[in-house]
């Protein structure tokens, strides 16, 4: 199983769906398993959760920085 591929897939789906974002905040494991459609082993699900959190945070920071650039 390619963890990087699973992270990319999850980020794409979660970033487009407000309900999934809320569920990911509350129950990241359940949200990922529903998005990916599989029951992941604990060692993999933890890696994917951390990767998705990092990617979503980075995307938000990039968006905020871009918005600030437009102001100036």
Torsion of CA 3, 53, 26, 40, to 10 degrees: 10
Do 29 and 49 form a contact (C-beta atoms < 8 A)?
A: yes
Mean per-residue pLDDT for 39-43? 77
pLDDT at residue 64, rounded to an integer: 47
Q: Reply yes or no on whether the pLDDT at 63 is more than 80.
A: no
**pLDDT, tens digit (0-9, with 9 covering 90-100), for 7-38:** 888 888 888 888 988 998 898 888 888 888 88
Q: How confident is the model at residue 6 (pLDDT cuts 50, 70, 90)?
A: confident
Q: Reply yes or no on whether the pLDDT at 41 is more than 50.
A: yes
pLDDT at residue 65, rounded to an integer: 47
Whole-model pTM? Answer: 0.63
């Amino acid at each position: 199983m390619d963890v990087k591929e699973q992270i990319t897939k999850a980020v794409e789906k979660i970033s487009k769906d407000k309900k999934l974002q809320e569920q990911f905040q509350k129950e990241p494991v359940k949200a990922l398993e529903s998005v990916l459609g599989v029951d992941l082993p604990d060692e993999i699900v933890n890696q994917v959760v951390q990767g998705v959190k990092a990617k979503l945070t980075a995307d938000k920071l990039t968006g905020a920085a871009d918005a600030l650039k437009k102001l100036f």
